[in-house]
Structure 1
């Protein structure tokens, strides 16, 4: 998901650069374009901070899925 929002941020940055070069760096359109970039960056930061942290066993099992400690048994 993060990759998708990062792509959108890059697209909005490019748009903001184009708008500002066309309309002028002090124009209202330029300010609005950069506001869009900032909003997306804030959302990306929020998404990263709300992901649950993995405990040490979960991290170990991600790296070593075949380890005995990481086996999952069906009941």
Structure 2
């Protein structure tokens, strides 16, 4: 079961192709969860943990999609131009 989490988290944390890597991690975790449940039984603790990993990855994908939708025009501008005067944050 540890191997499943390591593969999924490695894919989820990669910044190369954010959504694509997260989707790949979800598909990998689903496959691993199905295999785990076939081997250990549907009521086993390992099966429950495997599906919890799938649920967490899907929740992360949902959170990332919501975060993208709520950015305003200034936030989008600052993402592209972090050095702009409008984007600088000063501690007073």
TM-score by length of 1: 0.68
Larger radius of gyration: 1
What is the CA RMSD across the aligned residues, in angstroms?
Answer: 1.5
List runs of 5+ in structure 1 lacking aligned partners: 56-75
Cα deviation 1:5-64 (Å, max 9, x = unaligned): 000000000000000000000000000000000000000000011014587xxxxxxxxx
Q: Give the TM-score normalised by structure 2.
A: 0.56
**Aligned pair partner of 2:33 in 16, 31, 42:** 16
Ranges of 4+ aligned residues in structure 1 off by more than 2 Å: 52-55
Q: Which has the higher contact order (CA 8 A, sep 6+)?
A: 1
Structure 2: runs of 5 or more not aligned = 1-17, 74-92
SS at match of 1:51: helix
> Take 1:7 and 1:34, find their aligned partners in 2: how far apart are those partners?
16
Q: Which residue of 1 aligns with 2:48?
A: 31
